[in-house]
Amino acid sequence: MTQTVKLDILSDPICPWCYIGKTNLEKALAAIPDHPFVIEWHPFQLNPDMPDEGMDRREYLERKFGGKEGAVQAYAPVVEHAEKAGLSINFEDMQRTPNTLDAHRLIHWAGIEGKQNAAVDALFNAYFVEARDIGDHEVLADIADGIGMDAALVLKLLKSDADREDIRNRDAHSRQMGVNSVPTFIVANKHAVPGAQPPELWEKVIGEIKDQLNTAV
């Protein structure tokens, strides 16, 4: 039986570094198809105090970065690293910055159906490529439908309080454990790897883990 190693990823679907980090990780996983990782995604809200309905993106950026110039400066390295990862982020068309609690609920429900990775991919694509409002219930139900989930059931769950408190508690627990930025990758419940690391680093980590597993056999 092949030994596996848990890779827990704390992420937020509106975090561009999380999008880049996932892309880089997956390049390494594709390069080493017999990698030992079993991946699980966990909720972390960049803006836990965001109003439920989200807010106008321009207003959000001005509040967070002190105006357009500050936002441009803050996002310059994001654009550079996204391009390096082969991604094009559609910042121009983004109208709103959503509250991501409901997106995290969708990721949680997708996980129950074994579709968590597909949900994370679809949310990143909806937000960063299609510039959709992933705080909107109809958008989330459409995303669920696109990955083979029951859209009507998801919509019903979104309109309820199902798992809202659980997501908030998991987010709070991560902060109590010292996580203050995402993405954060936790290898084997022991080693935290922060930030959007390049594929080469992940290939090195995977190689070292495989050596350790082989030695332990």
Q: How many CB atoms lie within 10 A of CB 165?
A: 9
pTM of the model: 0.96
Q: How many CB atoms lie within 10 A of CB 47?
A: 16
Which residue ranges make up each domain of the chain? Answer: 5-98+163-216
Kindly report the average pLDDT of the chain as a whole number: 96
Residue in the structure block whose two tokens are 């309820």? 160
Write out pLDDT tens, residues 123-157. Answer: 999 999 999 999 999 999 999 999 999 999 999 99
What percent of the chain clears pLDDT 90, i.e. is strictly above it? 92
Q: How many CB atoms lie within 10 A of CB 119?
A: 26
Identify the CATH number of the domain defined by range 5-98+163-216. 3.40.30.10
Q: Does residue 1 register a pLDDT over 60? A: no
Give the burial string for 82-104 (b: 16+ CB within 10 Å, else e). Answer: beebebebebeebebbbbbbbbb
Cα(99)–Cα(104) distance, integer angstroms? 10
Q: Kindly state the tokens that stand for 155.
A: 């919509």
Closest to 171 in 3D by CA, of 124, 105, 122, 116: 105
